[in-house]
Amino acid sequence: MNQINWGIIGCGNVTEVKSGPAFNKVEHSKLIAVMRRDASLAQDYAQRHQVPKWYSNADELINDPEVNAIYIATPPDTHLSYAIKAMQAGKPVYVEKPMARNAEECDRMNAVSRETGVPLFVAYYRRALPYFQKVKSLIESGVIGDIRFVNIVLQWQPYAEETGPDAKPKWRVNPEVSGGGHFHDLASHQFDLLEYFLGPIVKATGFSRNQANLYEADDITVANWEFENGILGNGSWCFTVHPNQRQDLATVIGSKGQISFSFFEKFDIIVHTAESTEVFYIPYPEHVQQPLITQIVADLRGMDKSPSTGITGARSSLIMDWIVKHE
């Protein structure tokens, strides 16, 4: 493939700035078609983003002969079916994260990719962002010595639509659609990056509960895990705290110091050792998925390799499955 002509299935909010415009800003890449079940919304998106074609039926977009790569940006409950259809049509797939609702669905997607020989990529775009590449390089540089353990704390208040007499929680906290709750949505990025930084996680256990009863999904999770190289990790995720308790902090502890960073909300990386404290400020680009899309396009053209594939993408789903299995 030389020119990658993309079609988007599910042109919702995530595609407005994070990803959609990036397809036209990468060399040898063009967004030529979008699909949404509501035809008027698909048409509106196409007109606002100067996309030549729009559909209200996914099969029509997949079978469009001018579209030769598919970006699936729907909720996770349809990732499996759309990805299989696209790969069976011979079209490479870039699917949103989490890759699917659970590891079993991820495995089925990867099986079709192997059977058809059609590439499968996952939107764990943080692997390609300069901020997280800097974290990785600092860990590997040895500046904090041998890595001992990693700790994650993520505490967020409920979203406005999840509270009050007229509460209408969105699909992310409907396990039938998302596979879980906010933990599945956010920790998927975190575990993907932890393996990118420190290697495979071989064991993980935890507890996951619904304490506040604002929605069906669990709203709190605590977990422990072990990397193949012997490094240990622990974390806590709570999505029903007061706004004053909001926190997004990851700490990598080494024999000579520590590295602190944020997965979602801040752009500072703090390296603290006995000798000094150094701060790196690396903001995200305007379209956060553009660096990864650039590498995927290069991969499809035989020029590079994407750091996020169906194989790497399935790993975080497996780890989350280990953690949230209720005893």
Per residue in 130-153, pLDDT tens? 999 999 999 999 999 999 999 999
Query: Is 326 a member of any domain?
Result: no
Q: Is 251 in the same domain as 176?
A: yes
Q: What burial class does residue 327 get, using C-beta atoms within 10 Å of its C-beta: 0-12 exposed, 13-18 middle, 19+ buried?
A: exposed
Query: Is 215 a member of any domain?
Result: yes
Q: Is 119 in the same domain as 147?
A: no
Query: Is 316 a member of any domain?
Result: no
Whether the predicted pLDDT of 92 surpasses 80:
yes
**If you average pLDDT over residues 224-252, what whole number do you get?**
98
**If you average pLDDT over residues 69-92, what whole number do you get?**
98
SS3 state of residue 197: helix
Range of the domain at 99: 4-126+288-307
How many domains, the chain? Answer: 2
Q: Tell me the C-alpha to C-alpha distance, in Å, between residue 218 and each of 79, 84, 124, 180, 316.
A: 22, 29, 23, 7, 18
Give the CATH number, domain containing residue 18. Answer: 3.40.50.720
CA distance 11 to 9: 6
**If you average pLDDT over residues 70-78, what whole number do you get?**
98
What is the tens place of the pLDDT at every residue in 25-63?
999 999 999 999 999 999 999 999 999 999 999 999 999
Contacts of residue 96, Cβ cutoff 8 Å, sequence gap at least 6? 10, 14, 72, 73, 74, 76, 79, 122, 123
Give pLDDT, residue 269.
Answer: 98
Judge whether 7 and 32 are in contact, CB under 8 Å.
yes
If you average pLDDT over every residue of the chain, what do you get?
Answer: 97
Q: Is 168 in the same domain as 237?
A: yes
Query: Is 312 a member of any domain?
Result: no
Give pLDDT, residue 1.
Answer: 86
Judge whether 256 and 144 are in contact, CB under 8 Å.
yes
Torsion of CA 285, 290, 291, 293, to 10 degrees: 170
Give pLDDT, residue 326.
Answer: 57
* Tokens representing residue 5 in the block: 């002509």
Judge whether 53 and 25 are in contact, CB under 8 Å.
no
Query: Is 319 a member of any domain?
Result: no
Query: Is 317 a member of any domain?
Result: no
**If you average pLDDT over residues 121-128, what whole number do you get?**
98
Sign of CA dihedral 192, 197, 200, 203: negative
Q: Is 104 in the same domain as 63?
A: yes
CA distance 78 to 19: 19
Q: Is 50 in the same domain as 76?
A: yes
Query: Is 323 a member of any domain?
Result: no
Beta pairing partners, 65: none
Give pLDDT, residue 123.
Answer: 98
Q: Is 20 in the same domain as 165?
A: no
CA distance 172 to 97: 12
**If you average pLDDT over residues 255-273, what whole number do you get?**
97
Q: Is 137 in the same domain as 150?
A: yes
Q: Is 119 in the same domain as 241?
A: no
Q: Is 74 in the same domain as 159?
A: no
Residue whose structure tokens are 């509460």: 167
CA distance 21 to 27: 13
Query: Is 318 a member of any domain?
Result: no
CA distance 99 to 94: 10
Sheet strands (E) in the chain: 4-9, 29-35, 53-55, 69-72, 93-95, 120-122, 147-155, 201-209, 220-227, 232-238, 247-254, 257-261, 268-273, 277-281
Q: Is 8 in the same domain as 116?
A: yes
What count of residues does the chain have? 327
Give the CATH number, domain containing residue 160. Answer: 3.30.360.10
**If you average pLDDT over residues 92-105, what whole number do you get?**
98
CA distance 178 to 96: 12
Q: Is 141 in the same domain as 276?
A: yes
Q: Is 136 in the same domain as 230?
A: yes
Judge whether 284 and 126 are in contact, CB under 8 Å.
no
